[in-house]
Amino acid sequence: MKRFPGVLANDCVDFEARTGEIHALLGENGAGKTTLMNILYGIYQPDAGDILIRGSPVSIQSPREAIELGIGMVHQHFILVPTHTVSENIVLGLKGKFFFPEQAARQKIEEFSDRYNLTVDPEAHIWQLSAGEQQRVEIIKALYRGAQILILDEPTSMLTPGEVEDLFQILHSMADEGNTIVFITHKLNEVMAVSDRVTVLRQGRVEATLDTAKTNKRELARLMVGREVLFRVEKEDVQIGEEVLRIEDLHALNDKGLTAIKGVSLSVARGEIVGIAGVAGNGQRELVEALVGLRPIEAGHIFVSGQEATNRSPRDIIERGVCYVPGERFAGLVPEMSVAENLILKTYRDQCFGSGPFLNTREIAGRADELISRYGIAAPGRDTPLKLLSGGNIQRVILARETSGEPSLLIAAHPTSGLDVGAIEYIWQLLLAERERGAAVLLVSEDLEEVFTLSDRIAVMFEGEFMGIVSASDADLEEIGLMMAGAHRRPEQEVLA
Amino acid sequence: MLQFILSALRAAIPAGTPLLFGTLGEVYTERSGVLNLGVEGLMIMGSVTAFGVAFTTGNVWLAVALAALAGGLLALVHAFVTITLKVNQVVSGLAITMIGLGVSGIMGRQYIGQPLGVRFAPLEIPVLSDLPILGSLLFQFDPLVYISMLLAPALWFVLYRTRWGLSLRSVGENPATADTLGVNIVVVRYLAVFFGGLLAGVGGAYLSVVYAPSWIEGMTAGAGWIVIALTIFAMWDPLRALLGAYLFGGVRVLQYRLQPLGISPNLLAMLPFIFTILVLMASAGEAMKRRIGAPAALMQPYSREDK
Amino acid sequence: MRGIPTLEVEKRLTSPRWLQFLAPFISLILALMAIGVIFQALGVDPLFAYGKIFQGAFGSMYGLSETVVKSIPLMLSGVGLSLAFRARFWNIGAEGQLLVGATCATGLALAYPDWPKFVLIPMMFIVGFLGGALWGLIPALLKARWRVNEVITSLMMVYIASNLVNHLVYGPWKGPEEMGFPYTSKFSASAQLPRLAWTRIHYPTLVLALLLAVVIYLLIARTKWGYEIRVTGENPAAARYAGMSYLKTVVLVMILSGGLAGLAGVGEVAGIHLRLRYPGGISPGYGFTAIIVAWLARLNPLGAVLTSFLLGGLLVGGDAIQISLGLPSATIFAFNGTILLFVLGGDLFTRYRIRVKRRTTN
């Protein structure tokens, strides 16, 4: 039995898991699930509160100590060495036999394989294995080190449905043997399918701990997304113009070569903001990258202002009037360079900044000053290196750059992540102003409040597909929550506006 | 004809031996993720140290041992600069080469032209050395040749079949993972670089005490750079290094022997370098990378906060 | 409970301007001290040695002129390298590009000795530039297209070039009147660069070098290409995001970098040696020393002009102590290497700070 009252940021969390149970930890991103488990695994230290394992208080300073206490963690992104074999990965770092170290593991691996149905070939190289098989290696790795409490962080994010089934069977058999499983997820189907109890976290607080058998998806969804009053900003009624972006049945792969987007269709018109809601990791990043030419499109089409834009180069897309605020800020910035130099990153080729090969530094400086004052960027000067600015100001620089060119399509991914309230409000106003100007805006965000406040229509993304596209005014929070968790889908005919 | 081939083979092995020592060392260094371009400097420090010690003490084994130490110590400078100070590995390696060449030149100035009184006696292996053709071909080399021939499979074994080798390979492939599992990246890398230096020193010692034997300024004549190429050519595998070293050594020796046949020695000498580039190109494809690629973390300094 | 203090290296947010400027000098001084220690240990009087070096390089008109002579190829190659390194393209093969440039110019000179001077010399420069550019282009293409590590490829190309030169001077291009030495015939008068008065300074190349230093500086700082190069070097992801083509950037950079080194080669064969010789006789590692030139100058082409004089002076000084102290010419390599290491280390201090941290446990 493991109990864990702890302080996360501002809130107290009481969490308890029993021997032989599968306990799901449910919540959106930023709800605090991963932080909680990281504390358990010794990566962070709690500011207050205690951890008790089997009734005795413990202090966990590092993953090593966690392992010694019998806690094992299977991360969302596997930490395996691809060129090594399974058995080599399992024994890596352990003291043991000097010669043929992986032989010693073989016997135990077979034992675990039989006991829990974790079939995997000890001699296979990791790169040869499917995601599901790799995950089994991770589980065996934890078990081999004596784990009796197993934490799995979003374990099904990389698995096929068949592999998910197999995983559940494995978890059941492990729980039956007396192990404790903690299962972090945002997917309701899974919670209902495999867990005995579920704890719902929201914004760092425990909303409830329930017996799975005694609850249902609607209730969980409601607990997960909450029912706070969403504050609406003054939104003008804007005439919706012609379609600027059209995505038809898009398919794309992620960095590991697995399908990340399976058949996404969407249309965005001038004067509207379409928000893509969803827990991170469901294909949003890949979708945006595909739109701006940074990721190859396997199938389907993209049209910008009526023209074919599938698999065009980033330069091409930029020239069609598409501007992009990347989710990872520094993918679109050069921190060592000055503010002014960052501001011209997209526009330096324009004639106004210099005819022929030369850059007209005076023009650039003038423009920079203008943008700095217009967008209220707090910086000592236009020549200040960008890295010295605060997060909010860095974001203003990006937005200044991307919106000053009056794009026809603005794609903004996580534009306010990590920023303070003042910065958030400013950016919201900016996005709304773009909408009023007549730009088409595609917003990707994990922050439901943001999506609800700004969007005219909301598309919910889950496992590479849109579960539904609804108009914001008649969006039901509970329904959105269910869609985000994969438990609900809107009928096809409402997908394209 | 046969005579020609046999004599070429017989010459290739000693020519390849310093390359083999150097390559075995660099393989281990690069397997830990550190590129050491300073091999030329390490080897020549070994050469001058070995010659000096052998000259003054008459003890060849001591000479080899101290040469190894010289190489190892200079390599530690590279290790410190690139692992702890996280300085660019390429430039540091070049600096080490320059320092090695320069310091060895200064140290060796008194030995120029001096003959070496002591030698490594060729090892007589009972029965085998007296075999008619094979005897003189394979079994009358000096002890260092045999040591290198045994070292290659031994190092292969350690690399692939022991716990140390497993840790070493993980550090070079995926230091973040290895770190999480408790492998000490810094210690492993320091040891690997030091070991590489030791072997490079021995390789250099071989040149000045056995192969030449004499001291000439700059006598390694680019052997260190060939080692760098050879490490890639051997795809970071000690056994392939064995074959590759004799191949490259053979080319070096054959260069001049084939001249009467009209084959330009210099064009022949280019081949190892061209092959290395081809190997690099071939192993750049994703699929190939998995099988024969460079240690994935080669040349990337590791820092915990960068995770 | 107090913890154990540990030394940690943490990144500085800003480096003070004075530190950035002073750091190379401090490194230089520290390097000289370190070399002094090594000299002492090897039985050489460091102060005497330094005196001789300085005297040799700057103490006489002859010394000064020789310093200028040596700075020419260093300047050309160094400027080229500062461009390449700005794009984070590790061109280690400048030595090879230099040799190929020299070879191409030699080929032209030997083939058309009777062309008038005002045609032959410029053509030699052009051909030398193209040869070096081609040699530099190969690693660039391999990197851009197949992602092959440019350090190794450019380095291998040096040895291929070296062997090519050897092949030519021992073989087809060997000068019949050279008594078996690995030299080509001496260049005809129209293939020889004019020199300044009684010195060996081949001033056309010097002028070219100074001009190009300014041109490259302007290229980096003031043009759109230069901007693309800088962004590519600082943050390749942002470059992609902005639609910049890595292939185009790297190809351009290496054509220039290789070409400049090629020009250095032309200068050496047409201005100093007046023939092509075995590689070591053309360049005592100028291409590698140029790496120090560029790095010391913090990758600024104008700074490279100054550092090339400094390192040129060191090379001349190295020759001087060879004569007066009987030290081998390789001695100067030890100098260069140590300076490079200390400069690298010193660079570190401008970007990082060493803190004593105490790990506390509760």
The three-state DSSP-derived secondary structure of A426-448 is: HHHHHHHHHHHHCCEEEEEECCH
Question: Tokens at residue A496, please?
Answer: 């394209």
Please tell me the predicted confidence (pLDDT) of residue A10: 43
Residue C28, pLDDT score: 80
> In B, residues 191-230, which contact C (CB 8 Å cutoff)?
217-218, 222, 225, 228-229
Same domain membership, residue A220 and residue A248? no
Q: Decide if A388 and C242 are in contact by the 8 Å CB cutoff.
A: no
Task: Give the tokens for residue C304.
Answer: 């490279």
pLDDT of amino acid B133: 63
Chain A contact for C360 (CB, 8 A cutoff)? no
Lowest mean pLDDT across B16-25, B233-242, C69-78, C179-188: C179-188
End-to-end Cα separation, chain B, in angstroms? 60
pLDDT on residue A184: 86
Question: Beta strand A307-308 with A297-304: parallel, antiparallel or unpaired?
Answer: antiparallel
Question: Which pLDDT band holds residue B76 (cuts at 50, 70, 90)?
Answer: very high
Rounded Cα–Cα distance for residues A14 and A346 (Å): 49
Q: Domain check: are A281 and A184 in the same one?
A: no
Q: Are residues A115 and A182 in the same domain?
A: yes
User: Alpha helix locations (H) across chain C?
Assistant: 17-41, 46-58, 61-86, 94-111, 117-146, 150-170, 203-222, 224-234, 236-241, 246-267, 279-282, 286-296, 301-325, 331-351
User: pLDDT category, C102, cuts 50, 70, 90?
Assistant: very high
- Whole-angstrom distance, CA of residue B239 vs CA of residue A293: 45
What are the chain B neighbours of C99 within 8 Å (beta carbons)?
none
Confidence of residue C210 (pLDDT cuts 50, 70, 90): very high
Residues of C in contact with A293 (CB under 8 A): 243
For residues A124 and A87, give the distance between their C-alpha atoms in angstroms, rounded to a whole number: 8
SS3 of residue C15 by DSSP? coil
What are the residue ranges spanned by the domains of chain B? 2-117+130-294
A249 and A382 share one domain: yes
By CA distance, what is C219's nearest residue in A? A358
A167, A193, A225 - which closes a domain: A225
Interchain CB distance below 8 Å, A314 and C223:
no
| Residue A376 CA to its chain's centroid (Å) | 30
Are residues A133 and A75 part of one domain? yes
Put simply, the answer to whether A84 touches B170 (Cβ < 8 Å) is yes
Helix (H) or strand (E) holding A307: strand A307-308
Domain boundary among A225, A257, A286: A225
Q: What is the pLDDT of residue A468?
A: 87
Statement to judge: residues A200 and A253 lie in one domain: no
- Tell me which of A396 and C349 has the higher pLDDT: A396
Average pLDDT over residues C264-269: 94
φ and ψ at residue A304, rounded to 5 degrees: -115, 120
Selecting from C151, C158, C326 the residue whose C-beta is nearest the C-beta of B109 gives C326
| Residue A268 and residue A356 share a domain | yes
Mean pLDDT of C157-161: 92
Distance CA C339, CA C345 (A): 10
At A235, is the secondary structure helix, strand, or coil?
coil
Provide, as residue numbers in chain C, all residues whose Cβ is less than 8 Å from the Cβ of A314: 240-243
Lowest-confidence segment of A108-112, B115-119, B171-175, C206-210 by average pLDDT: B115-119
Q: Is the CB of B81 less than 8 angstroms away from the CB of C92? A: no
> Which residue did the predictor score with more confidence, B231 or A20?
B231
Contacts of C240 in chain A (CB under 8 A): 294, 314
Q: Of A181, A197, A225, which closes a domain?
A: A225
CB contact under 8 A, B182 and A93: yes
- Give me the pLDDT at residue A11, please: 62
Please tell me the CATH code under which domain B2-117+130-294 is placed.
1.10.3470
pLDDT in tens, chain A (497 residues): 666 665 555 466 777 778 888 888 887 766 677 777 777 887 777 777 777 887 788 888 877 788 888 888 888 778 888 888 888 888 887 877 777 777 777 888 888 888 887 888 888 888 888 878 888 899 888 888 888 889 898 888 777 777 888 888 888 888 888 888 988 887 788 888 888 888 888 777 778 888 888 888 778 877 877 655 445 566 777 888 888 899 999 999 988 777 889 989 999 999 999 999 888 788 899 999 999 999 999 999 999 988 888 998 898 898 888 999 998 888 889 988 889 899 988 888 877 777 778 888 888 888 889 888 888 888 888 888 888 888 788 888 998 998 888 899 999 998 888 777 778 888 888 899 999 888 999 999 888 888 888 999 999 998 889 988 888 887 777 788 788 887 777 775 444 44
- Percentage of residues in chain B having pLDDT higher than 90: 37
CB contact under 8 A, A82 and B174: yes
> pLDDT tier at B39 (50, 70, 90 boundaries)?
very high
Pick from B216-230, C115-129, C325-339 the range whose average pLDDT is largest.
Answer: C115-129
**Minimal CA separation from C227 to chain A, in Å:** 8
| Contact call for C330 and B277, based on CB within 8 A | no
Report pLDDT for A21. 85
pLDDT beyond 80 at C11: no
Residues sharing a CB contact under 8 Å with residue C361, sequence separation 6 or more, in sequence order: A61, C1, C3
Going by pLDDT thresholds of 50, 70 and 90, the confidence category of residue B287 is low
Shortest CA distance from A78: residue in chain B: B177
Contact B177 A127 (CB under 8 A): no
Q: Which of residues 142-181 of B touch C (CB under 8 A)?
A: none
Please give the average per-residue pLDDT across B45-62, as a whole number: 90
**pLDDT reported for residue B159:** 92
Record: contact C333-B270, CB cut-off 8 A: no
Nearest to C241 among A326, A335, A337 (CB): A326
In this structure, are A290 and A190 located in the same domain? no
Chains that touch C (3 or more CB pairs under 8 A): A, B
Min Cα–Cα distance to chain C from A124, Å: 28
Indicate the pLDDT class of residue C312, thresholds 50, 70 and 90: very high
Euclidean distance between the first and the last CA atom of chain A, given in angstroms as a whole number: 51
Residue B70 has a pLDDT of: 95
* A356 within a domain of the structure (yes/no): yes
Give the nearest partner residue to B183 out of A93, A99, A101, using CB atoms. A93
Same domain, yes or no: A270 and A220: no
Contacts of B91 in chain C (CB under 8 A): 291, 295, 340, 344
Q: How many CB atoms lie within 10 A of CB A192?
A: 17
For residues A290 and A397, membership in a common domain is answered with: yes
Q: Nearest C-alpha of chain B: how many angstroms from A42?
A: 12
**What secondary structure does DSSP assign to A241-268, as a single string?**
-SEEEEEEEEEEE-TTSSEEEEEEEEEE
**A341 with C227: Cβ contact below 8 A:** yes
- Report CB contact under 8 Å: A99, B296: no
Nearest to B225 by CA among B172, B273, B267, B277: B273
Per-residue confidence band for C354, with pLDDT thresholds at 50, 70 and 90? low
Determine how β-strand A197-202 pairs with β-strand A205-211. antiparallel
Helical pair C286-296 and B89-108, crossing angle rounded to 10 deg: 120
- pLDDT for res A275: 93
- DSSP SS3 for B298: coil
CA distance C97 to C162: 10
Same domain, A248 and A217: no
| Lowest model confidence (mean pLDDT) among A108-122, B153-167, C70-84 | A108-122
* Interface membership of A333 toward C (CB under 8 Å): yes
Secondary structure of residue A424 in the 3-state scheme: helix
Q: Is residue A233 part of a domain?
A: no
Question: Which pLDDT tens digit goes with each residue over C247-265?
Answer: 999 999 999 999 999 999 9
Assess whether A310 and A433 both reside in one domain. yes
Q: Tell me whether residue A384 is exposed, middle or buried, using C-beta atoms within 10 angstroms of its C-beta: 0 to 12, 13 to 18, 19 or more.
A: middle
Domain that holds residue A283: 243-494
Binning pLDDT at 50, 70 and 90, where does residue C360 land?
A: very low
Other beta carbons less than 10 A from residue C140's beta carbon: 27
A496/chain C closest Cα distance in angstroms: 29
Chain B positions touching A63 (Cβ under 8 A) are 180
Q: C241 vs A332: CB contact, 8 Å cut-off?
A: yes
Closest listed residue to residue C225, CA positions, set A347, A356, A357, A344: A357
- Chain C: closest CA distance from residue B3 (Å): 28
Would A366 be classed as within a structural domain? yes
User: What's the confidence (pLDDT) of residue C353?
Assistant: 65
Name which of B164, B170, B293 is nearest A81 (Cβ-Cβ): B170
Number of domains composing chain A: 2
| Nearest CB neighbour to C148, from listed B77, B265, B281 | B281
Minimal CA–CA distance to A33: which of A252, A254, A216, A199?
A: A199
| Residue A25, SS3 per DSSP | strand
Q: Which of A292, A314, A336 sits opposite C234 (nearest CB)?
A: A336
| Closest by Cα among A288, A295, A277, A397 to A345 | A397
Contact assignment for A294 to C234 by CB distance below 8 Å = no
CB A268 within 8 A of CB A466: no
B-chain residue closest to C34, CA distance: B99
pLDDT of residue B136: 62
CA distance C189 to chain B (A): 30
Number of H helices, E strands in chain B: 13, 0
- Domain contains A238: no
**For residue A137, what is the domain's CATH number?**
3.40.50.300
Check residue B137 and give its pLDDT.
63
In terms of average pLDDT, the best of C7-21, C138-152, C315-329 is C138-152
Neighbors of chain B by Cβ distance (3+ pairs < 8 Å): A, C
Within the 338-397 window of chain A, which residues sit less than 8 Å (CB to CB) from chain C?
Answer: 341, 344-346, 348-349, 354, 357-359, 361, 385, 387-388
pLDDT at res. C185? 82
> Considering chain B, what is the average pLDDT of its residues?
84
